[in-house]
Amino acid sequence: MTETSPKIQTSPPSPTPSPSPPPSEQFHETVPLTAEHLLTNRRPEPAGGWRRIVWLLSGRKIIPAESLAEQERRTLIAQAQTPVASGHHRIAVMSLKGGVGKTTTTVALGNTLASLRGDRVIAIDANPDRGTLGLKVKSETAATIRTMLAEAPHILRYADARAFTSQSPARLEVLASDTDPAVSEAFNADDYRTVAGLIERYYSICITDCGTGLLHGAMGATLELADQIVLVSLVAVDGASSAAATLDWLTAHGYADLVKTAIVVLNAVEPKSDVDVELLERHFSSRCRAVIRIPYDPHLKEGAEVDLVRLRPTTRGAYLRLAAAVGQTFGQRPDRGH
């Protein structure tokens, strides 16, 4: 009987180890090495609610994680705070129909941006007739846009321009128009270009409260210089039709790019309405970049000065979403042909 030799198990040869990366490449971390990420005591303290109570009861040591709503709010604020890459950004707030809250939207948007940013934000009244923008902030001067035009050669620094504006508690500056139609003069395209050139020197963001007509003198220059438009409409059949007609007119007259990047504001939205708000939103969303609903608010119904503190939280949140939507374009450098 022959004996068979036992089989010897041999393991497969181990793969040749790959060379180690250089020391400079052995630790690659995608998180920015900033104080906010490296220092554990740099997490923002809770502004309110149960998170702040826990933080205070723990001797300011425990900071509970933010809720989804708080994270969204922080994101919106960051978008509204986007630096203006071009140095100056012009927003035209428009409506073909009067009485839809165009001027209120101008001031509320301006107040929201000014309250969140460190640079200068101004709203100007480009209505060809009597404008009401100056009534939305506490007046600090009797000067108007016409006064600034007359003194244009002497405006050489920011302090000179500031003498013609009133400032809200949120730091928004307002350049008003004449409130007396008997003494007001027509405001034409050349006038707007002159004022826009002055504003560009000293302010990062200019929000223009346009007139209701599309053919008046200043509107051509306003659209020519605008980087962005905000179109305001009420949730009503005639208001929605007017807003849609405005988009049609802009597209037909060479402003299709402004239409694509436009933001439509559905203003003073009631909790219950016979108008299909969802259908309105879908229609404008298919034509423009964003649609923002602003809820009805008793403070805005007063028609007086716009104070962010007196707005309902839901209304302030809606204007924050509007400011964030506008702010998302601040980082772009528009190729102006003018």
State the DSSP string of 122-183: EEEEE-SS---GGGGS----S--HHHHHHTGGG--SHHHHHTT-EE-TTS-EEE---S-TTT
263 pLDDT more than 80: yes
DSSP state for residue 332 in the 8-state scheme: S
**Which secondary-structure segment (H or E) carries 118?**
none
Q: What's the rounded Cα separation, in Å, for the pair 244 and 216?
A: 19
Higher pLDDT: 12 or 321? It is 321
Percentage above 70 pLDDT, the chain: 83
Instruction: Compute the distance between CA of residue 97 and CA of residue 232 in angstroms, rounded to an integer.
Output: 9
* Contact predicate 222/192, CB 8 Å: yes
CA-to-CA distance for 113 and 80, rounded, in angstroms? 7
The stretch 176-183 carries a mean pLDDT of 71
Greatest mean pLDDT range, 129-133, 170-174, 300-304: 170-174
How much is the pLDDT for 44? 73
pLDDT tens for 34-62 read 665 566 556 677 777 788 888 888 888 88
User: How confident is the model at residue 12, as a pLDDT?
Assistant: 52
CB 297 within 8 A of CB 311: yes
274-316 pLDDT, tens digit each: 899 999 999 999 999 999 999 999 999 888 899 999 999 999 9
Bigger pLDDT: 334 or 193? 193
Average of per-residue pLDDT across 65-87: 91
Mean pLDDT of the chain: 86
Which residues are CB-contacts of 229 (< 8 A; sequence separation ≥ 6)?
Answer: 91, 92, 93, 94, 223, 250, 258, 259, 261, 262, 263
Q: Look at residue 37 in the predicted model and tell me its pLDDT.
A: 55
Select the more confidently predicted residue: 27 or 265. Answer: 265
Instruction: Please state the pTM of the whole predicted model.
Output: 0.82
- The pLDDT assigned to 187 comes to 76
Both tokens of 295, joined, read 């809820």
Rounded to whole angstroms, how far apart are CA atoms 107 and 207?
A: 9
Read off the pLDDT band of 127 (50, 70, 90): confident
Distance of CA 44 to the CA centre of its chain: 24
